């Protein structure tokens, strides 16, 4: 499969064509693009058209596009459809220098190659599953939610690629390694790659946060921006220009944004050039320390990007005095390190260094081509049927008699909110569930009233209450655990009714047919799309005309998968790549052994 990769930057468009063996067939770059027609600058559109002419002689089987911003919901490369184009459009305000050009390039490419698949590979996707503590700014959360203010991270394609090469070099699986990757180029960012996942990165809501860059400031006290605005010297647009285009190495050195020239000036004794180099290195070193602390350790530090790959002196400055962390630079190796297409990595630490430092030649285009091929192959397989997940918090179902004792003889349940299963609703009424060790207040009543009392709690609740409750299917409460319930008007000691709900999937008969399962079947289910993929065995299928497709799990199970809103599950065998499937199979085997043993 020949894959054409289009990488649209803010002022350049790179392209590369790879054959089925990942060999580069041809590549090129159109630079200094802009809208300045007075200076006859080529526009992005013209550049893209010229690229299509250049590759006209080759067969193109798929096109991969780099897209800077896909937002929080896109965690994977995507085959481009209208929804993907809409997501790119939606994030134009967050990446105004990139997303508009990517979108235009995609649309042009779709016109020129209408019959081949187009895939978007996102810079944000690698970071999309960072933990909430890393994505959240400590500002009023209502404001943050209203304005979509959270940390996204960028350069994900490069960080993921560099981490993969480092793991290959270290001959250890990526999911056993804690890496700090530093993409140092005209744009620069650091990433904590913890066991294969990005768990922290220095760029935030926009690519302005973090390290010192060519012309971007990186971290600046937000208070400074307020004072500059208050001073009246800068309009909002001027401040934007200051921070994005006139800061960083350029602003510090007053020379330009090319580190090579700054290094020459520094060697000639230019004080501002020296300051620029020192601030750049200090900031990067600071982030290494922070990420080692955030991950509780580090196995390797990886340098990539124009500066990371080429500037031995900058790497030395960044790594100096990191011996305490176990990272000991080998001056000769660092000086001689050279990465190019035939040699994509170089080790620059001594043999006794506990933490290795590696230089990796970034290759975003190859990564995009690989991902494009993977997505195209995946979409050729039948699409998995996913199942929406509902997380059941603790709740109770009561009989008329129990309800009357707890809430008064004349009371009736007050419906508050319809539940997803037809006819079911949450009520205003809440009870206190009392066990020998503790009690749990405000346990919600679900309606309508039933023929038997049933209180459903999680394993954690059970421990808290001090009662051993059996795992049961809903409705099967005979011989289950005793429990005391207290309402505003009275208390009832139930001799049975307390259960830990057996996880299950509600299905309409049409769904059961589609999934090829029957009522009462026990299945395994893979939950992906949360923060921690999880496979659950012993899931019961429940089929009824009145049911709507939905998997019900309790809060312990949801927390184990770190599920958010709109999570979905897939019946195993799941739609994952072969490696991941092997992991799932192993996981199931271990679970079986545990049960037997
Ligand atoms: P990138 O954005 O990754 O292409 O990186 C571009 C930047 O890398 C340039 O602006 C230079 O500052 C820097 N760079 C490239 N080669 C060298 C070198 N040999 N020494 C120092 N800096 C370099």
Q: What confidence tens digit (pLDDT) does each residue in 555-581 have?
A: 888 888 877 666 666 665 333 333 333
Mean pLDDT of the chain: 89
Co-location of 114 and 152 in the same domain: no
Mutate to test the pocket of ligand 1, among 7, 215, 260 (most ligand atoms within 8 A of CB): 260
Q: How far is the CA of 16 from the centre of ligand 1 (A)?
A: 20
Atom of ligand 1 nearest to the CA of 362: 3
Share of the chain above pLDDT 70, in %: 92
pLDDT for the residue 554: 86
Average pLDDT over residues 142-157: 95
Q: Write the CATH number for 320.
A: 3.30.420.40
Co-location of 162 and 284 in the same domain: yes
pLDDT for the residue 268: 97
Share of the chain above pLDDT 90, in %: 68
Q: How far is the CA of 263 from the centre of ligand 1 (A)?
A: 11
Average pLDDT over residues 98-103: 91
pLDDT for the residue 377: 86
Co-location of 450 and 538 in the same domain: no
CA 232 to chain centre: 39
pLDDT for the residue 571: 60
Q: What are phi and psi of 82, to 5 degrees?
A: -60, -35
Residue 307 lies in a domain: yes
pLDDT for the residue 589: 35
pLDDT for the residue 418: 87
| Pick from 237-241, 253-257, 385-389, 418-422: least confident | 385-389
Long-range contacts formed by 444-448: CB under 8 A, 24+ apart: 444/393, 444/394, 444/395, 444/396, 445/395, 445/396, 445/397, 445/398, 445/403, 445/413, 446/395, 446/396, 446/397, 446/419, 447/413, 447/415, 448/413, 448/423, 448/424
Residue 267 lies in a domain: yes
pLDDT, tens digit (0-9, with 9 covering 90-100), for 72-85: 888 889 999 999 99
Say if residue 546's pLDDT is above 70.
Answer: yes
Q: How far is the CA of 340 from the centre of ligand 1 (A)?
A: 14
For the chain, counts of helices (H) and of strands (E): 20, 26
| Pick from 225-239, 308-322, 480-494, 509-523: least confident | 509-523
Q: How far is the CA of 450 from the centre of ligand 1 (A)?
A: 71
pLDDT, tens digit (0-9, with 9 covering 90-100), for 35-54: 565 566 788 888 889 999 99
pLDDT for the residue 230: 97
pLDDT for the residue 96: 81
Nearest CA to ligand 1 atom 8: 306
Co-location of 361 and 454 in the same domain: no
Atom of ligand 1 nearest to the CA of 249: 12
Q: How far is the CA of 556 from the centre of ligand 1 (A)?
A: 49
Among residues 98, 122, 146, the one where a domain terminates is 122
Is the whole-model pTM more than 0.75? no
What SS3 string covers 341-385? CCECEEECECCCCCCEEEEECCCHHHHHHHHHHHHHHHHHCCCCC
The CA-based diameter of the chain, rounded to the nearest angstrom, is 93
Co-location of 88 and 19 in the same domain: yes
| Pick from 355-359, 441-445, 482-486, 511-515: least confident | 511-515
pLDDT for the residue 348: 98
What SS3 string covers 141-184? HHHHHHHCCCCCCCCHHHHHHHHHHHHHHHCCCHHHCEEEEEEE
Co-location of 348 and 240 in the same domain: yes
Co-location of 497 and 508 in the same domain: no
Q: How far is CA 295 from CA 152, 170, 195, 504, in A?
A: 19, 19, 10, 36
Atom of ligand 1 nearest to the CA of 263: 21
Residue 100 lies in a domain: yes
pLDDT for the residue 567: 65
Atom of ligand 1 nearest to the CA of 184: 3
Among residues 89, 122, 155, the one where a domain terminates is 122
Sign, Cα dihedral of 404, 406, 410, 413: negative
Atom of ligand 1 nearest to the CA of 305: 3
Distance CA 44, CA 166 (A): 34
Co-location of 89 and 144 in the same domain: no
Residue 414 lies in a domain: yes
Task: Report strand pairing: 3-8 vs 62-67.
Answer: parallel
Co-location of 183 and 56 in the same domain: no
| Counted domains in the chain | 4
Co-location of 356 and 261 in the same domain: yes
Q: What is the dihedral of CA 476, 479, 480, 484, to 10 degrees?
A: 120
Mutate to test the pocket of ligand 1, among 306, 313, 317 (most ligand atoms within 8 A of CB): 306
Say if residue 584's pLDDT is above 80.
Answer: no
Q: How far is the CA of 255 from the centre of ligand 1 (A)?
A: 15
Co-location of 548 and 579 in the same domain: yes
pLDDT-derived band at 178, boundaries 50, 70, 90: very high
pLDDT for the residue 525: 81
Ligand 1 site: residues with CB under 6 angstroms?
185-186, 214, 257-260, 305-307, 310-311
Atom of ligand 1 nearest to the CA of 186: 2
pLDDT, tens digit (0-9, with 9 covering 90-100), for 201-214: 999 999 999 999 99
Q: Which residue has the higher pLDDT, 27 or 548?
A: 27
Distance CA 209, CA 204 (A): 6
Residue 190 lies in a domain: yes
| Pick from 74-88, 166-180, 244-258, 569-583: least confident | 569-583
Residue 128 lies in a domain: no
Q: How far is the CA of 309 from the centre of ligand 1 (A)?
A: 8
Residue 560 lies in a domain: yes
Mutate to test the pocket of ligand 1, among 264, 310, 313, 365 (most ligand atoms within 8 A of CB): 310
Average pLDDT over residues 521-541: 78
Average pLDDT over residues 467-471: 87
Q: Which residue has the higher pLDDT, 538 or 556?
A: 556
pLDDT-derived band at 517, boundaries 50, 70, 90: confident
Q: How far is CA 169 from CA 56, 165, 173, 292, 337, in A?
A: 37, 6, 10, 20, 15
pLDDT, tens digit (0-9, with 9 covering 90-100), for 396-431: 999 999 999 999 999 999 999 888 778 889 999 999
Average pLDDT over residues 95-100: 86
CB 438 within 8 A of CB 464: yes
Residue 385 lies in a domain: no
Average pLDDT over residues 7-12: 84
Co-location of 203 and 94 in the same domain: no
Say if residue 383's pLDDT is above 60.
Answer: no
Mutate to test the pocket of ligand 1, among 311, 359, 362 (most ligand atoms within 8 A of CB): 311
Q: Which residue has the higher pLDDT, 539 or 350?
A: 350
Say if residue 582's pLDDT is above 60.
Answer: no
Domain that holds residue 261: 135-377
Per the structure block, which two tokens stand in for 27? 């590549």
Determine which one of 81, 94, 123, 579 is catalytic. Answer: 123
Is residue 219 flagged as an active site residue? no
Residue 392's nearest CA partner among 520, 501, 252, 532 is 501
Average pLDDT over residues 125-143: 94
Among residues 57, 89, 122, the one where a domain terminates is 122
Q: How far is the CA of 221 from the centre of ligand 1 (A)?
A: 27
């Amino acid at each position: 499969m020949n894959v054409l990769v289009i990488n649209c930057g803010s002022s350049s468009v790179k392209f590369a064509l790879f054959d089925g063996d990942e060999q580069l067939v041809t590549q090129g770059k159109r630079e200094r693009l802009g809208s300045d027609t007075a200076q006859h600058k080529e526009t992005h559109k013209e550049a893209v058209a010229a690229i299509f002419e250049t590759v006209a002689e080759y067969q193109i089987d798929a096109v991969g596009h780099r897209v800077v911003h896909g937002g929080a919901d896109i965690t994977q490369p995507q085959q481009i459809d209208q929804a993907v184009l809409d997501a790119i459009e939606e994030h134009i305000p967050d990446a105004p220098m990139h997303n508009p050009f990517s979108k235009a390039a995609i649309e042009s490419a779709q016109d020129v190659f209408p019959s081949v698949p187009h895939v978007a590979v996102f810079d944000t996707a690698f970071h999309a599953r960072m933990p909430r503590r890393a994505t959240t700014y400590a500002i009023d959360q209502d404001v943050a939610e209203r304005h979509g203010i959270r940390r996204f991270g960028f350069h994900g394609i490069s960080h993921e690629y560099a981490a993969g090469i480092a793991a290959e070099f270290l001959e250890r699986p990526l999911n056993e390694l804690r890496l700090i990757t530093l993409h140092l180029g005209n744009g620069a960012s650091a990433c904590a790659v913890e066991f294969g996942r990005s768990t922290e990165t220095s760029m935030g809501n926009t690519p302005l946060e973090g390290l010192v860059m060519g012309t971007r400031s990186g971290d600046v006290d937000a208070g400074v921006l307020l004072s500059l605005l208050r001073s009246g010297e800068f309009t909002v647009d001027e401040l934007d220009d200051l921070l994005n285009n006139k800061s960083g190495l350029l602003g510090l050195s007053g020379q330009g944004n090319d580190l090579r020239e700054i290094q020459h000036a520094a060697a000639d004794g230019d004080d501002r050039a020296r300051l620029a180099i020192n601030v750049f290195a200090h900031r990067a070193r600071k982030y290494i320390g922070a990420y080692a602390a955030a991950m509780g350790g580090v196995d390797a530090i990886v340098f990539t990007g124009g500066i990371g790959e080429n500037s031995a002196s900058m790497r030395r400055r960044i790594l100096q005095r990191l011996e305490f962390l176990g990272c000991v630079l080998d001056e000769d190796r660092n000086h001689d390190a050279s990465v190019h297409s035939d040699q994509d990595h170089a080790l620059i630490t001594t043999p006794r260094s506990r933490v290795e430092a590696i230089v990796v030649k970034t290759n975003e285009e190859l990564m995009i081509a690989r991902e494009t091929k993977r997505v195209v192959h995946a979409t050729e397989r039948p699409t998995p049927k996913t199942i929406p997940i509902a997380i059941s918090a603790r709740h109770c179902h009561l009989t008329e008699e129990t309800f009357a004792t707890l809430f008064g003889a004349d009371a009736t349940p007050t419906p508050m909110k319809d539940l997803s299963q037809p006819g079911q609703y949450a009520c205003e009424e809440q009870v206190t569930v009392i066990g020998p060790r503790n009690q749990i207040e405000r346990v919600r009543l679900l309606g309508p009233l039933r023929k038997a009392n049933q209180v459903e709690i999680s394993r954690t609740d059970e421990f808290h209450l001090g009662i051993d409750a059996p795992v049961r299917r809903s409705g099967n409460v005979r011989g289950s655990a005793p429990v005391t319930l207290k309402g505003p008007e009275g208390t009832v000691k139930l001799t049975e009714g307390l259960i830990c709900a057996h996880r299950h999937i509600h299905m309409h008969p049409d769904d059961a047919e589609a999934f090829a399962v029957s009522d009462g079947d026990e299945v395994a289910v893979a939950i992906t799309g949360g923060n921690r993929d999880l496979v659950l065995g012993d899931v019961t299928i429940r089929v009824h005309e009145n049911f709507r497709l939905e998997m019900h799990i309790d809060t312990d199970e949801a927390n184990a998968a770190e599920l958010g809103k709109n999570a979905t599950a897939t019946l195993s065998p799941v739609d994952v790549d072969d490696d991941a499937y092997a992991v799932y199979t192993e996981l199931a085997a271990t679970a079986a052994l545990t049960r037997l043993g």
